[in-house]
Amino acid sequence: MLFAMTTRLLALTLLAVTLTGGVAAGQALDPASQEALGAVLRMLQDPALRAGAIASNPEAAAADRQLQSLAGGSPALTQEIYDLAGRIFEDLARGSSGDANAMTQALARGQSDPAAFAAMLSPRTLERLRALSIKLSDQPRR
């Protein structure tokens, strides 16, 4: 379950990179990169902002439907998944110094090796991933 969820979160995080254009390429998290990261995190955390991004992108809509199904239709669990995706995105952005290409490559590698990708996450994010995975394991799928 943890690896399946990691793969789904990787897809969501890749979608966030695509929707927002990523964080400024090749730079440390300077003020502009930090602002871009903040915009991504706000979009993932705010259902209204997220709805706008989802409405304008069929891939985002499909990912959202998949995540809602994973959460058993629970709005609270769906939000927890998006919050976790934000943490993963933040870890990824900081670990790659905001390089959008490096982020995309790490996400692509994570699709085939979720365990290696999970090892890149901060201990706090990884613990949240484990806790949410346990919560979701008992949820009925829609």
On the CB side of 124, how many CA atoms lie within 13 Å of its CA? Answer: 5
The answer to whether position 90 is within a domain reads yes
Residue 78's CB is within 10 A of a number of other CB atoms, namely 19
Candidate from 14-28, 58-72, 116-130 with smallest mean pLDDT:
14-28
Q: Which domain holds residue 21?
A: 2-137
The answer to whether position 45 is within a domain reads yes
The answer to whether position 95 is within a domain reads yes
Number of structural domains in the chain: 1
Is the pLDDT confidence value at 2 over 80? no
- Tell me the pLDDT tens digit for each residue of 27-53: 457 777 788 788 888 988 999 988 988
**DSSP 8-state assignment for residue 25:** T
pLDDT of residue 33: 72
- Tell me the pLDDT tens digit for each residue of 4-17: 555 556 555 655 55
The answer to whether position 85 is within a domain reads yes
The answer to whether position 142 is within a domain reads no
The answer to whether position 81 is within a domain reads yes
Return the axis-axis angle of helices 75-95 and 58-70, rounded to nearest 10°.
Answer: 120
**DSSP 8-state assignment for residue 134:** H
pLDDT of residue 46: 92
pLDDT of residue 76: 92
CA dist 110 and 12 (Å) reads 12
- Tell me the pLDDT tens digit for each residue of 99-141: 778 888 888 888 888 888 888 888 999 889 888 888 888 766 6
Burial, 79: exposed, middle or buried (Cβ in 10 Å; 0-12, 13-18, 19+)? middle
The answer to whether position 82 is within a domain reads yes
Residue 33's CB is within 10 A of a number of other CB atoms, namely 22
pLDDT of residue 22: 46
pTM for this structure? 0.76
The answer to whether position 77 is within a domain reads yes
